[in-house]
Amino acid sequence: MPVTDYFAILGVPASSEIDRARLDAQYRSLQAQWHPDRFVTASEAERRQALQQASLINDAYQMLKQPLRRAEHLLELKDTDAAVHQARKLEPAFLLHQLEQREELERLGQRRDQAAFARLRRDTETELQLQWRDFAATVQQQDWCSARLSLQKLQFLHKLQEELDHLEDRWLDTLDN
Amino acid sequence: MVLFTIAEPGQGRARQVIRRKRAVGIDLGTTNSLVAVAKEGKAHVIPDVHERLLLPSVVQYRSDGSLLVGDDAVESTASGTTISSSKRLMGRGLADIDYQVPYQLRQPASGGMVEIVTANGAVSPVQVAADILKTLATRAESALGGELDGVVITVPAYFDEAQRQATRAAARIAGLNVLRLLNEPTAAAVAYGLDQRLQGTLMIYDLGGGTFDVSLMRLHNGVFEVLAIGGNSALGGDDFDRAIVDWLLRQSGRSAPDADTLRQLLRKTRAAKHALTTADSSVVELDDWRGTLTRDTLHGLIDAYIDTTLRACRRVLKDAQLEAADITDVVLVGGSTRTPRVQQKVKEFFGREPLCSIDPDQVVALGAALQADVLAGNKYGDAALLLDVIPLSLGIETMGGLMEKIVPRNSTIPVVRAQEFTTYKDGQTAMSIHVFQGERELCGDNRSLARFELRGIPPMVAGAARIKVTFQVDADGLLQVQAEEVSSGIRSSVVVKPSFGLDEQDIAGMIKASIDSAADDKAKRSLREKQVEAQRHLAALQAALGQDGNSLLTAEERQQLEQAMAKLQQAAAGDDAALIERLTDALNAQSRDYAGRRMDAGIRAALAGQKLDVVGDNL
């Protein structure tokens, strides 16, 4: 089955960087056209179609507004040699560093160490920024092989960031109870 | 994209001039309910015959089967069971209710939703909501001059599927066509967006009697996009009151009070709380005990609740990946935001003065009315478009009772999501799909919505079957789940009606019970007309008595007239059309003499060169 091109659906250029204001405007104008609430007096068939279109537009917007999912989708569309490229392994140094950071996260979670938490968050954000720059450059050069590696690193870093968020949520939750 | 060229929107739609649809917005609140109507982008709340806008969400059930709704129920001195704040019981089981209520609850033998024990047998919270809805619908119908084509009813954004279905069921029992259940904060944003032309990123802080909701919205050229919502469906101004009541009980050394004392305490608490909006302290008396509630003590009692609401705000900001500084405006909704401490703490949190230029009691109903007008097809200019989200994640149970989320919370609707699963045993031919709603990891901690089976899977080794489970949430927020075995094409689906709500039979039973002649719309309309007529007479007579009742009537005459009025008032709240008509006629006959005297007085006054407007229109 061919991959749905969400960039085309929302009418924005397929790239790693995106003009957010333009994306938002396109989304709004397409929903203004296709949202089921615009079809309350229409026929059953038209309403069903509106439901499908509006769902698709929502999916596309969800996909494109989040940088990591946008990057994944971009490679899904562009990288025709995905299977080969995905088989390439990340360098051990990166993986080792990830392992250390995860252990650090677990430690500070147990101790409820806010200062160390803030430090780890800052570090992760810096690394993410660097990695995003790297990704954009490889996409620019259409070096899909390096782009895949860069994306894998981004996925690791995002996962770490998510876990930081979860930990913060849990701290907030224990305040609630 | 081929998909976008199949049909042009609006094609083939009939372009005939049709009657403007009668559509209203109803704010079915924990404490008060309202009904509003909109035309050409302007909305107003519909008052009752006494010019009151708010209908207290209170119903009194009496042993003779009659009932009183709203102010009549609040003011009633007759014996019966008076139910307030029952919105908190919607779609809930007894185990969910971990706080005291001033009436007796019971779990029906069949399980499911809690029931309230009344003087007239057990009553479901759905029935209470239906009785409130009916009263509001009658009010709207007499104002708009005919039956309603549709209503938009607001619900807290954080209402789960069981609570939403219970609300829909109440509307069905009340004989209403629901165009949409609209989230309360969203409705408030619509009101601000359309009425005050507000633009930008809005945080709607909605603290009602029993629920707290927060919504982050982006308003841009008539498109209202919900970015994230959060809140707590069991936190509200009632908790403030309860905290104060508990404090009063502790201070006065009293133990668990009975229902009557509790009600009395609540009244005193609300008065004290109200006094503290301007004074620094307020004296509370309980029989022989006398104590002082200071503003500081009040803050100590309620701050923890307010802090919980602010944490919910922080979480919503986080969900939308925004900071407090990104917010253009903070809008206050709900009666409990009148509490000065709430306003103060919200202001501190967001670093800006919150907006409350539209009456926080009315704003939700006004927004609902505006949306009802659009959804009924009453088009005008650039109608607003609402892009709403689902409040809680939807998913299915996987091995080990784990929740696999398929549609995450805050997903914009409509949404269609599919995920593939597989069999775990060799030769497995059936798979049970159990649908849950909630954020917790274990299904047991979330709310069960539905369960269905996919049968006839061709026998294969474990892990070979490909079961595609598709969740579809339409623009109304209704969920449909479908399971399909991809290789064989066998499928099965369910439209979700939560197992926790009422089943169809319950609802059908209530519809039948609530309308004496269920199939007879004519009788229903005639009843409503008689109710409205009775209310008109009562209001006119009341107004006349206020003007010259004492000068034109003897004390005895006045008392007799008032007795007849009370009788009619009571009958008008019930379903007996013949009785209402008889009592209306009787009251007319009884007041004829008085009307004559008023006419004479009016003529005398006119001859004396005074104004004539003291002569009532209806007398």
List the domain boundaries for chain A: 6-78, 82-176
CA distance B113 to B162: 9
As separate numbers, helices (DSSP H) first and strands (DSSP E) second, chain A gives 8, 0
Compute the nearest-CA separation of B349 from chain A (Å). 16
Helix %, strand %, coil % for chain B, to 5?
A: 40, 25, 35
Compute the nearest-CA separation of A102 from chain B (Å). 21
Q: What are the b/e assignments for B149-169, b being 16+ CB within 10 Å?
A: bbbbbbbbbbbbbbbbbbbbb
Q: Which of A37, A42, A61 sits opposite B13 (nearest CB)?
A: A42
CA distance B81 to B67: 9
Q: Do A50 and B9 touch (CB under 8 A)?
A: yes
Among this protein's residues, is B581 annotated catalytic? no
CA distance B70 to B81: 13
Structure tokens at B108: 């029906």
Helix %, strand %, coil % for chain A, to 5?
A: 80, 0, 20
Cis peptide before A92 (omega within 30 of 0): no
Q: If residue B492 lies in a helix (H) or strand (E), which one and from where to where?
A: strand B491-495
Q: Do A28 and B221 touch (CB under 8 A)?
A: yes
- Tell me which chain B residues have a C-beta less than 8 angstroms from the C-beta of A33: 9
Q: What chain B residue is nearest to A11 in terms of C-alpha separation?
A: B1
Q: Is A165 touching B (CB cutoff 8 A)? A: yes
Which site among A3, A27, A31, A40 would you substitute to test the B interface, given the most B Cβ atoms closer than 10 Å to its Cβ?
A: A40
Instruction: Return the pLDDT at B222.
Output: 81
Is beta strand B430-437 parallel, antiparallel or unpaired with respect to B447-455? antiparallel
Closest alpha carbon to B619 in B549, B532, B526, B530: B549
B115, B206, B213, B484: the catalytic one is B206
Alpha helices in B107-233 (DSSP H): 125-144, 161-173, 184-195
Is beta strand B467-473 parallel, antiparallel or unpaired with respect to B415-421? antiparallel
Among this protein's residues, is B206 annotated catalytic? yes
Closest alpha carbon to A71 in A143, A160, A136: A136
How large is the average pLDDT for residues A167-172? 78
Q: What chain B residue is nearest to A165 in terms of C-alpha separation?
A: B318
Structure tokens at B331: 């809008």
In order of A71, B309, B599, the CA distances from A89 in angstroms are: 19, 46, 99
- Tell me which chain B residues have a C-beta less than 8 angstroms from the C-beta of A162: none
Count of A–B CB contacts within 8 Å?
Answer: 81
Rg (CA), chain B: 27
- Tell me which chain A residues have a C-beta less than 8 angstroms from the C-beta of B316: none
CA distance B406 to B546: 63
- How many angstroms from the chain centroid is the CA of residue B245? 25
| Identity of residue B203 | M
Closest alpha carbon to B213 in B118, B87, B119: B87
Compute the nearest-CA separation of B97 from chain A (Å). 17
Half-sphere exposure of A144 (CA within 13 A, CB side): 16
SS3 (DSSP) at A147: helix
As separate numbers, helices (DSSP H) first and strands (DSSP E) second, chain B gives 13, 27
| Torsion angle (degrees, nearest 10) of CA B446, B236, A165, B202 | 120
CA distance B91 to B89: 6
Which residues of chain B carry a pLDDT beneath 50?
A: 1-17, 500, 515-520, 609-619
Structure tokens at A74: 């971009």
Q: Which of A24, A42, A56 sits opposite B3 (nearest CB)?
A: A56
DSSP tag of B232: E
Q: Do A32 and B414 touch (CB under 8 A)?
A: no
Q: What chain A residue is nearest to B382 in terms of C-alpha separation?
A: A32
| Identity of residue B453 | E
SS3 (DSSP) at B265: helix
Closest alpha carbon to B182 in B200, B198, B206, B202: B206
Q: Do A175 and B375 touch (CB under 8 A)?
A: no
CA distance A8 to A4: 9
Compute the nearest-CA separation of B486 from chain A (Å). 14
CA distance B590 to A104: 87
In what order do the strands lie in the sheet containing B385-387? B329-333, B200-207, B212-220, B223-232, B385-387
Q: What chain B residue is nearest to A173 in terms of C-alpha separation?
A: B311
Q: Report the Cα–Cα distance between both ends of chain A, in Å, rounded.
A: 48
Q: What chain B residue is nearest to A50 in terms of C-alpha separation?
A: B9
Closest alpha carbon to B164 in B399, B473, B537, B386: B473
Compute the nearest-CA separation of A119 from chain B (Å). 19
Instruction: Return the pLDDT at B15.
Output: 38
Instruction: Return the pLDDT at B608.
Output: 59
- Tell me which chain B residues have a C-beta less than 8 angstroms from the C-beta of A41: 13, 377
Assign A173 a pLDDT band (cuts: 50, 70, 90). low
Give B20's contacts (C-beta < 8 A, 6+ positions apart). Answer: B39, B378
Give domain A82-176's CATH superfamily: HscB, C-terminal domain (1.20.1280.20)
- How many angstroms from the chain centroid is the CA of residue B614? 39
Q: Do A53 and B4 touch (CB under 8 A)?
A: yes
Give B486's contacts (C-beta < 8 A, 6+ positions apart). Answer: B420, B466, B467, B468
- Tell me which chain A residues have a C-beta less than 8 angstroms from the C-beta of B374: 37
Q: What's the CATH code, domain A6-78?
A: 1.10.287.110
On whether the CB atoms of residues A151 and A65 are closer than 8 A, the answer is: no
Q: If residue B572 lies in a helix (H) or strand (E), which one and from where to where?
A: helix B555-572
On whether the CB atoms of residues B186 and B218 are closer than 8 A, the answer is: no
In order of A19, B414, B437, B505, the CA distances from B494 in angstroms are: 40, 17, 15, 18
- How many angstroms from the chain centroid is the CA of residue B404? 31
Residue B530: Cβ-neighbour burial (10 angstroms; 0-12, 13-18, 19+): buried
Compute the nearest-CA separation of B411 from chain A (Å). 8
B72, B115, B160, B184: the catalytic one is B184
Q: Which of A37, A58, A61 sits opposite B385 (nearest CB)?
A: A37
Q: Is A58 touching B (CB cutoff 8 A)? A: yes
- How many angstroms from the chain centroid is the CA of residue A112? 28
DSSP tag of B609: T
- How many angstroms from the chain centroid is the CA of residue B424? 44
CA distance B351 to B324: 8
Q: If residue B599 lies in a helix (H) or strand (E), which one and from where to where?
A: helix B577-607
- Tell me which chain B residues have a C-beta less than 8 angstroms from the C-beta of A35: 385, 387, 475
| Identity of residue B168 | R
Q: Is A32 touching B (CB cutoff 8 A)? A: yes
Which site among B224, B379, B387, B482 would you substitute to test the A interface, given the most A Cβ atoms closer than 10 Å to its Cβ?
A: B387
Instruction: Return the pLDDT at A174.
Output: 67
Q: Is A125 touching B (CB cutoff 8 A)? A: no
Q: Which of A43, A53, A58 sits opposite B412 (nearest CB)?
A: A58
In order of B105, B397, B399, B403, B437, the CA distances from B406 in angstroms are: 36, 11, 15, 9, 10
- How many angstroms from the chain centroid is the CA of residue A147? 15
**CB neighbourhood size of B3 (10 A):** 11
CA distance B345 to B326: 18
Rg (CA), chain A: 20
Q: Do B415 and A55 touch (CB under 8 A)?
A: yes
Q: Which of B13, B220, B416 sits opposite A55 (nearest CB)?
A: B416
Closest alpha carbon to B272 in B252, B308, B297, B307: B297
SS3 (DSSP) at B229: strand
Residue carrying structure tokens 């790693």: A16
B72, B87, B160, B530: the catalytic one is B87
- Tell me which chain B residues have a C-beta less than 8 angstroms from the C-beta of A56: 3, 416
Q: Do B225 and A28 touch (CB under 8 A)?
A: yes
Among this protein's residues, is B87 annotated catalytic? yes
